[in-house]
Structure 1
Amino acid sequence: MHKYPPAPALERKCLSDYKIQGTDITIENGTGVVIPVMDIHHDHAYYSEPHKFDPERFSPENKRERSHFAFLPFGEGPRICIGMLLR
């Protein structure tokens, strides 16, 4: 799921104007946005040796050390995997 997520990118539509913090960039209402899941999963800022199989990176201790949004195999928010509703 980390190396090869089922959805390598997520597409969303901005529902209201959103200013990106720390920048002069505003994403306008109605703009399509692509979230590059594959790139996030292979970002050295979140994972050392991102191409290496390392189950320990998902231990409870290691998961607490990084952003919740650094691992998005099924997306996030109201459109997350339908199986998550069964918890």
Structure 2
Amino acid sequence: IIENLVKSQMAPSSSSIKSRHVAVIGAGAAGLVAARELRREGHSVVVFERQKQIGGTWIYTDHVEPDPLSVDPTRIVVHSSVYGSLR
């Protein structure tokens, strides 16, 4: 999904900047904007996202961390939008 989005929606601009291969870590709002701008400058971009969908903290889940004090290093970390209405 991410690769198709980058290829189809983020066409490079004409520029004399030397093209680079760039990895963007995270497909949240900032990562997607960074990928778009890098493509516009003519760079080859790959976006890596560990979740199953793009959007970062804008993706809502009602899951909560089982260890709210973060004492257990093996806990599941939940990063999510605070409100379900932000979908």
Q: Indicate whether the TM-score tops 0.5.
A: no
Give the TM-score of the pair, scaled to structure 1.
0.21
Rg larger in structure: 2
**Greater RCO between the two (CA within 8 Å, min separation 6)?**
1
Give the TM-score of the pair, scaled to structure 2.
0.21
